[in-house]
Amino acid sequence: MNIPSLPKIELHLHLDCSLSYEVVAQLRPGTSREEYERDYIAPENCASLDEYLKCAQEPISIMQTKEQLEAVTLDLFEQLKADNVIYAEIRFAPLQHLELGLTAEDVVRIVDEATSKGIKQTGVEAGIILCTLRHFSEEESLHTVKLVDQFKGTNVVGFDIAADETLPIDNHIKAFEYARDHEIHCTAHGGEARGPESMREIMGNFHPSRIGHGVRSIEDPELLDDLKKKNIHLEVCPTSNVQTGIYDKVAQHHINEIYQNGNSLSVNTDGRAISNVSLNEEYQKLNQHFDWQLEQFKRVNAFAIDAAFCDEKTKTQLREKLLKGFK
């Protein structure tokens, strides 16, 4: 099986956690490889999700101008092309990029225009998901979801909540209500730092069609079956789950059991730099540890297309590419 040649869909991918050494050296000349590995890559086994998230602070500091945001976005498209990704959804929190005078609208417009350019240059189709963060205020969350609404018809396709899952959800209920009222596609991080109760809380209050990670649903068979019944897609990121301490190593991951239960799921990197992994490498790990073959990879990519936030015309084109590539 030639994994690099397989067409792939990536739905869970953080822009600010995916800066290659090349783009960091371009934006911050003089950065050594050693400094890059220290500041942009998380340890293989972090003490907590919080330690993992702290590694996003350095990249965010060099994503504050039009030139920086453009460079980082276009760099990510080159990484996607190298993995033969045919469609990706790239997520970030626009309110984290206002330190040097850009407005949130400026930030979204810049990343949207760079995404259009990246699509044209690489042939990789892509959408953008705007994130609110758990520690944001109700006002900041509403501002973020309204940006998704404002940019309808562009590459912006959805809304997410990320960051420290142990924080309360109260500030974000209105934003997700707004999303439902305005038919905005939603995903939400959960079932990572906290167990099944976190996912039930998200499902009961946010009603997303996808959950970022969600792997701890395996701890509650009833929840796992409920996810399957409601067709809630799980965006699984194996290497990242090891780094944040859910598992000691990928060989212990429960992705195979979740797959065998018949749940809709996809395979993703989460953050290509912070997790120091490509999508090709994620696939190789699943092949090595769980003997995943063409059948499994084809099926999870088909699940990903069904769950993607793009339009039906794009989904039809992606399914054709997938079938062709897996022949």
Beta-carbon count within 10 A of 323 CB: 12
Name the β-bridge partners of 304.
none
Beta strands in the chain (DSSP E): 8-14, 85-92, 125-133, 156-162, 185-190, 210-213, 233-236, 265-267
What's phi and psi for 164, nearest 5 deg? -70, 105
Q: Which of 261, 201, 202 is closest to 229 using CA atoms?
A: 261
Q: Which two tokens stand for residue 16?
A: 């600010």
- 190-197: long-range contacts (C-beta < 8 A, 24 or more apart)? 190/165, 190/214, 191/215, 191/216, 191/217, 191/234, 192/49, 192/165, 192/216, 192/241, 192/244, 192/246, 193/48, 193/49, 193/164, 193/165, 193/166, 193/244, 194/165, 194/166, 195/219, 195/220, 196/220, 196/223
**185 pairs with which residues across the strands?**
158
Q: Which residue has the tokens 């190298």?
A: 82
What does the chain come to in residues?
A: 327
Q: Which of 10, 89, 125, 192 is catalytic?
A: 192
Largest Cα–Cα separation, the chain:
53
Would residue 235 show up in a list of annotated catalytic residues for this protein?
no
CA R_g for the chain:
18
Q: How far is CA 171 from CA 53, 87, 163, 167, 192, in A?
A: 20, 32, 14, 10, 20
Catalytic residues: 192
